[in-house]
Structure 1
């Protein structure tokens, strides 16, 4: 016992210091545990306060700041900092919680100011309608065009003075009935009353102070456009007494010139009008002798043997430059048929030169007087009397050209201005809507007539959109088909269509003159191979018609086709415009057209003047996508029916086709 009791007394100072520090560490750990428990209790208490005061928490933002607790002595317990709230307009702190045991303090931040008022997001304006976009930059006259339904007709009555509202004289109505024309088509019902008003003042040959309005006509092929301008020209020019060049008709091809001349001669029979042509088919001196009566250089009013001239643009420019006294100052009508094609090609800037020839030159009076003052006549003037002025005899000038006389033309009013009386008439199945090309025509207050069938049953906005976007109109009696095939099968498909669908009186269009000749030779070899193995074969005659042929041969072939001695006429696009052959019942595009305009003019060779017709287009596989997109862009794809031809339909023709190919190869190798 004594040893055990004495042990504690025998502690060294080092041992005592160690035990003291150990005791202090235990006490410090105990205090730390107590602080942790108090901190957890304070967080639980704050969560309860947030749950109980949720309505206050939605409007205020509370910030918590835990302040450190400073221990002043080891034995003295720590005090908990109080939770305070600092209002927005006060700087003092109001105690809200003061509890023991001590816990972290919480401080609430100031209440924020009210938020700024919110504004709606900016909204995009309403997009303009399709018609508004389509009319951007469009000629206002085109917007105000007269839309004519293609089914509109007007019967021709041989009796009565009014002529049923057509403006035609009784003599003209009887002449049309004699030609077998008993009613006017859509374009004629609207254009004839406009060009032949009841007021005789507007039918005068010269209208220098109130010139007539120009006219633009867009109508489907075969709708009677040629008759629409031939009839009013003959009616107005029949009142003329002196022969002057008063009507000029410009056409793109020689064949079309011949056809239009036949129409004019038929309509003007018994009227005494003289009609001439200039196409380059005859020699230039021969044409000069046929057109101009006096080729001396002193005449300023011109000299003409014809009242109506039908020509091509190239030959017209030749006469304007090289033929003396060939003048356009007396023109009453300037007709541009197939206007889109003529405007797309320059032809030595023919349009600019023709329009310049119809206008009087500027400041010509000063030059004339200067020339007279500087010249001295060597002999007495003809048709002059003693004491008279030494001036040349004036010839007949147009009113707008009177300032070319050697004495001044004094107007009755200072503000008067004489203008040419020439009235421009533009016709086409695909008349251009390009503002630049229309501006080049220098139209005078133009009036548009558009034959368009679908616009009557549509809304007004869609009708304007169709006019602005150049919607093509096809004859109502036309049936359209397309066949998609490979390049090898295309001739075979063509032969199958001819025999299976009994295609006669047909026009077949190819892409070139060479393709035309090759297809005709292949068809002839095929017919010979088939005739040798088929009893009682059908004799089908096919001929080529292209620009490679002489004019006489082309005329003979065309006459034989019209008389149905030739059943199939294979041609290039030479006659795809304007040529009117009444009995054509089928049109085959052996080579598919590259644009919609060419397609419209090709298929327009059939289903003319209310007759029925079929159009067939052979489309190679690599061209199918382009052809369908072209039709879709023109809103016409649904009108073209797809025809499927199986291998079983071609099996019987394959041996004859292979024989024809072999013969064609041999013929080319020999040549």
Structure 2
């Protein structure tokens, strides 16, 4: 099915062609017509399925009736869990908005940066992309009002709830007009999400894109048993010995991420950290340089994983294992995309071996394990 059959305008179809979008993904094929028809939508689909465009395109179409009007309050509210996702969603809106005859102003607001410039930029905004905490700060300052919201989007709702935003989201929902269109996207359907779903959605169009069982087939997985004190030197050995470029390394804490980066730099390996303590500008610059290939190694916490979306990422290394098998799959799922084979390597201490066996059982795949002590570095 081509995009032209979904009810989008000629201007948006031309913009899609310019961006080399040839045909809609399953989530886009189902969601775009429903959103155009002002239906509530519940979409369950993994990251990387094309869900952002599936609501951006129809919302921009619907926005044309009030675009160009000097409105006092936003018409569309998109709630997201992280600053990185807020920026990504804003850019998608802006990219396609440029093709429209009537301008649609989009603004992303989030914490970690000064609130004053965001307050000043709110004038005339049609589409507001926000993290819950910063939105509540703006509401408390009487800088923004939600009375004009016609459409609410909860993007990556499962992540939002996992990060502890349930109370904030409930408070925001209580401030919105009762009559509105609601769009909820999530990678999973948890009990907490069922609560939000029942609270928000009215007779929704339910779209569930099943995750393919073969989604890990393009990822070559390998694990090394390495003593904790040897993981740093072993990581540096792997990167240098195999001449790795564009290496995404995951660690559990901000402190460990910084320590890994410092050691890599001292050994002449270009590396940067990306985590919640970094400024938005720093995080954006690091991610841009990493995507373009200018940066050799990016070391990240799990919180940042959903903001890292690269089609041809060759390497993911788990410096230590995540707490859950789902997080492990999400980590290594950054590679092996767009039909390009990727490498996922895990450095495992003996204490982590049992946990890794659980991860293998959950994902239904056996991973070759090598004793790192036999390798001279």
Q: Tell me, yes or no, if structure 1 residue 337 matches structure 2 residue 95.
A: no
Compare CA radii of gyration and give the structure with the larger one: 1
- For 2:117 and 2:324, how far apart are their aligned partners in 1? 40
**Residue 221 of structure 1 corresponds to which residue in structure 2?**
47
Q: Tell me, yes or no, if structure 1 residue 355 matches structure 2 residue 186.
A: no
Q: How far has the Cα of 1:610 moved from its partner? A: 4.5
- For 2:162 and 2:194, how far apart are their aligned partners in 1? 12
- For 2:225 and 2:86, how far apart are their aligned partners in 1? 36
- For 1:168 and 1:595, how far apart are their aligned partners in 2? 40
Q: Which has the higher contact order (CA 8 A, sep 6+)?
A: 2
- 1:487 and 1:637, CA in 2 relative to 1: closer, same or farther beyond 3 A? farther
**Residue 442 of structure 1 corresponds to which residue in structure 2?**
200
**Residue 629 of structure 1 corresponds to which residue in structure 2?**
358
Is residue 149–residue 177 contact of structure 2 (8 Å, CA) maintained in 1? no
Is residue 247–residue 332 contact of structure 1 (8 Å, CA) maintained in 2? yes
- TM-score for both structures, normalised by structure 2: 0.88
1:20-71 alpha-carbon deviations (Å, 9 max, x no partner): xxxxxxxxxxxxxxxxxxxxxxxxxxxxxxxxxxxxxxxxxxxxxxxxxxxx
Is residue 113–residue 279 contact of structure 2 (8 Å, CA) maintained in 1? no
Matching residue within 320, 323, 328 for 2:139: 320
- For 1:610 and 1:227, how far apart are their aligned partners in 2? 21
Is residue 505–residue 567 contact of structure 1 (8 Å, CA) maintained in 2? yes
Is residue 80–residue 131 contact of structure 2 (8 Å, CA) maintained in 1? yes
1:309-359 alpha-carbon deviations (Å, 9 max, x no partner): 0111101112223215x3323323211122112123444822222211223
Is residue 278–residue 287 contact of structure 1 (8 Å, CA) maintained in 2? yes
- 1:345 and 1:571, CA in 2 relative to 1: closer, same or farther beyond 3 A? closer
- 1:270 and 1:172, CA in 2 relative to 1: closer, same or farther beyond 3 A? closer
Ranges in structure 1 where 5+ consecutive residues have no aligned partner: 1-153, 157-162, 197-201, 204-211, 293-304, 361-419, 455-471, 529-539, 654-671
Matching residue within 210, 213, 219 for 1:452: 210
- For 1:449 and 1:480, how far apart are their aligned partners in 2? 31
Q: Which moved more, 1:180-189 or 1:484-493?
A: 484-493
How many residues are matched? Answer: 372
Matching residue within 329, 354, 367 for 1:641: 367
- 1:478 and 1:598, CA in 2 relative to 1: closer, same or farther beyond 3 A? same
- TM-score for both structures, normalised by structure 1: 0.51
Is residue 220–residue 475 contact of structure 1 (8 Å, CA) maintained in 2? no
Matching residue within 93, 110, 121 for 1:264: 93
- For 1:186 and 1:497, how far apart are their aligned partners in 2? 38
1:273-321 alpha-carbon deviations (Å, 9 max, x no partner): 01112113554343223214xxxxxxxxxxxx11100111101112223
Q: How far has the Cα of 1:590 moved from its partner? A: 0.9
- For 1:480 and 1:343, how far apart are their aligned partners in 2? 30
**Residue 9 of structure 2 corresponds to which residue in structure 1?**
169
Q: How far has the Cα of 1:260 moved from its partner? A: 1.6
Matching residue within 232, 249, 253 for 2:58: 232
Ranges in structure 2 where 5+ consecutive residues have no aligned partner: none
